[in-house]
Chains A and B, each alone.
Chain A
Amino acid sequence: MKIALSTSGETLEAPLDSRFGRAPKFILYDLERDYFEVIDNRQNLDTSQGAGIQSAETIARSGAACLVTGHCGPKAFRVLSAAGVSIYNCGEATVADALKAFREGALKAMDSADVEGHWI
């Protein structure tokens, strides 16, 4: 199973980025094979509107079954839910710590968007 984590860096020591739609990168972690790749999200930030929607599309296409992030707005939530991606909230942490918390079942799944939508 693969999980995606929003981040600003390229290693597991990088901080988890709390805002999903504007995260510069995602780490796509393969839990079975214990290996990960970095997905660049910057091109989505350049579209004229819908950063959250575009980021959600990226995650949906990546094959991730779950997403770990700080906050997720209603449009992104809608896309992720339709794609069957479960979303988990995590507070401030490194990617490694967030992964550990996820594996231990310490993270809570979101059943609705937890922040109001942004315009873009």
Chain B
Amino acid sequence: MILAVASGKGGTGKTTVAVNLASVYGAPVQLVDCDVEEPNSHLFFRGTVTERETFAIPVPHVDESLCDGCGECGRFCRYSAIVSFGSNPIVFPEMCHGCGGCMEVCPRKAISEVDKRIGEIESTRLEKITLIQGRLDIGAAMAPPLIRAVKARLQEGLPAILDAPPGTSCPVITTLRGADLVVLVTEPTPFGLHDLKLAVEMVRELRIPFGVVVNRMGIGDNRVHAFCAKVGITILLEIPDDRRIAESCSRGELVVDALPEYRSLFATLLWNIRELRGMEMGVSNVRSAN
């Protein structure tokens, strides 16, 4: 099963849920940190880094001896990554999306691709957990190619928990694509509800089954519960507003280690997730049988 943990709003506790779930999983599991701009999962697991590789995207390189300055490449590019006006083309690698189009349209076949580093991917092993994370270089603008590369390192057949970036734009979509189930983490406040609605719209568009975890119960009101009840969304777990949870997270400690009484809470979440997944699979089996 590939489970993704996401939220519309940042800071609701996605990483807390993801890392603690991985910790109570009970069987070998992959924890994949797809928040490549600000990866945090590794702060909770001090294992040995087993693999580290740089990641690069292909950007154009022009062989000036073949180029005749026709400008076709510049006219084709939608990203201002290659510019040509009667002289040899200028390439702006940081603007390039790696579509390969300039290479295809060049009538003199003067363009090839070279690698441009945008970040790195690391693997860490700690007991039953394999942590895979990507880290985008400072100043590098595009997260999705790195996120795709991180996900490509998933081992088939092993369950995975993906820690998504906050929000609902393309880095999050790239993370969620292909997941079997999404857990949306929110808090019972106006900001929490507003951003949950955006996230719900997103997972519905992606057609992935999902449930909600309400973190810091009691700090606000019941608007999130009312919304979930109204539209028929399963609440998978409620986490109490316990200052000690914030304190343990602040120290980089797993909640289930610092406060063992919470082990059963996260175990319940896992159980509820599996139940929801079972129900969803049952529903789709019924559908395909018909």
- A interface residues, Cβ below 8 angstroms from B: 47-50, 53-54, 56-57, 60-61, 75, 78-79, 82-83, 119
Contact = CB atoms under 8 A, between A and B. Distances in A.
10 tightest CB-CB pairs across the interface, nearest first?
A: A50-B80, A53-B80, A60-B85, A49-B79, A82-B90, A79-B83, A61-B85, A53-B83, A57-B83, A50-B95
Given A53-B92, A79-B83, 7 more contacts: A50-B80, A50-B81, A50-B95, A57-B83, A57-B85, A78-B90, A82-B88
A48 B87 CA distance: 24
A55 to B, nearest CB: 10
Interface string B79-111: 111010101101010010000000000000000
Contacts of B92: 50, 53, 75, 78
B141 interface: yes
Contacts of A47: 78, 80
Contact of B80 (A54, A61, A82): A54
B87 A83 contact: yes
A56 B87 CA distance: 14
B60 interface: no
The majority secondary structure among interface residues of chain A is: helix
Contacts of B78: 47-48
Nearest to A61: B85
A106 B203 CA distance: 60
A78 B80 CA distance: 13
A79 B95 contact: no
11 contacts: A47-B78, A49-B95, A50-B79, A50-B80, A50-B92, A53-B83, A57-B74, A75-B92, A78-B90, A78-B92, A83-B85
Contacts, number: 34
A47 B85 CA distance: 18
A13 to B, nearest CB: 31
Interface in B172-218: none
Most B C-beta atoms less than 10 A away, residue of A53, A57, A61, A83? A53
Contacts of A50: 79-81, 92, 95
Contacts of B88: 82
A82 B74 CA distance: 15
Nearest to A56: B83
A48 B74 contact: no
A83 B69 CA distance: 12
Contacts of B74: 57
A51 B95 CA distance: 12
A62 B121 CA distance: 45
B85 A48 contact: no
A57 B141 CA distance: 23
Most A C-beta atoms less than 10 A away, residue of B83, B88, B95? B83
A54 B75 CA distance: 11
A119 B95 CA distance: 9
Interface in B117-157: 141
B91 to A, nearest CB: 10
B78 to A, nearest CB: 7
Nearest to B97: A49
A78 to B, nearest CB: 6
Most A C-beta atoms less than 10 A away, residue of B81, B87, B88, B90? B90
A68 B175 CA distance: 46
